[in-house]
């Protein structure tokens, strides 16, 4: 299975909406995604990469380089990662992670973090398999 990974393009947005809604849950519209991507694409700290199989988008990873006092340059935050459920467990998610991590290394970044919902135990196993460790609770409060 040959997977190609590249930066996102506007023509990928409909596929990303489907992946985001079907695999991660949610109800984002194409218009909402397009508006967010317009903002993100203007900021060099945001990058989204897609995985292609037979010229079809089958996965994506969205990242942010976050500045933080405890990291000299900052760290890579993975904001979203999804692979089409019909072809999961074929190494596509790992390839996306490695691609994003290599991108971060090129920028001098030495750490990566992400959040995963308590209910997504299969995702937890995947992240641990790829070298991530459970480190802290993530707290959210609406304001």
pTM here is 0.89
Give per-residue pLDDT as tens, 91-135.
899 999 999 999 999 999 989 988 877 778 788 788 888 888 888
Write b or e for each residue in 113-123: b if 16 or more Cβ atoms lie within 10 A of its Cβ, otherwise e. Answer: ebebeeeeeeb
Predicted local distance difference test score (pLDDT) of residue 72: 81
Residue 63: partners with Cβ closer than 8 Å, 6 or more residues away = 46, 47, 48, 49, 76, 77, 78, 79, 100, 103, 104
Q: Which helix (H) or strand (E) holds 105?
A: helix 92-106
Flag whether 57 is in a domain. Answer: yes
Give per-residue pLDDT as tens, 4-32.
999 999 999 999 999 999 988 889 999 99
Flag whether 96 is in a domain. Answer: yes
Q: How many domains does the chain have?
A: 1
Domain with residue 12: its CATH number is 3.40.630.30
Q: How far is CA 54 from the centre of its chain?
A: 21
Flag whether 136 is in a domain. Answer: no
Predicted local distance difference test score (pLDDT) of residue 133: 87
Q: How far is CA 81 from CA 13, 61, 124, in A?
A: 15, 4, 12
Predicted local distance difference test score (pLDDT) of residue 18: 95
Flag whether 143 is in a domain. Answer: no
Give per-residue pLDDT as tens, 69-97.
888 888 999 999 999 999 888 889 999 99
Flag whether 123 is in a domain. Answer: yes
Flag whether 38 is in a domain. Answer: yes
Distance CA 63, CA 136 (A): 19
Flag whether 135 is in a domain. Answer: no
Flag whether 139 is in a domain. Answer: no
Predicted local distance difference test score (pLDDT) of residue 82: 93
What are φ and ψ of residue 80, in 5° steps?
-165, 140
Give per-residue pLDDT as tens, 37-60.
999 999 999 999 999 999 999 999
The domain containing residue 95 runs over which residues? 3-129
Predicted local distance difference test score (pLDDT) of residue 24: 85
Residue showing tokens 């979203």: 80
């Amino acid at each position: 299975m040959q997977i190609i990974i590249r930066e996102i393009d506007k023509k990928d947005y409909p596929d990303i909406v489907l992946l985001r809604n079907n695999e991660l849950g949610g109800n984002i519209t194409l218009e909402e995604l397009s508006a967010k991507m317009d903002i993100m694409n203007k900021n060099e700290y945001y990058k989204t990469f897609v995985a292609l199989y037979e010229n079809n988008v089958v996965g994506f990873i969205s990242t942010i380089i976050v500045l933080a006092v405890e990291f000299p340059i900052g760290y890579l935050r993975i904001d979203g990662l999804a692979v089409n459920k019909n072809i999961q467990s074929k190494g596509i998610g790992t390839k996306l992670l490695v691609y994003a991590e290599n991108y971060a290394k090129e920028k001098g970044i030495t750490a990566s973090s992400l959040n995963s919902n308590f209910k997504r135990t299969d995702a937890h196993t995947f992240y641990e398999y790829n070298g991530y460790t459970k480190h802290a609770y993530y707290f959210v409060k609406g304001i």
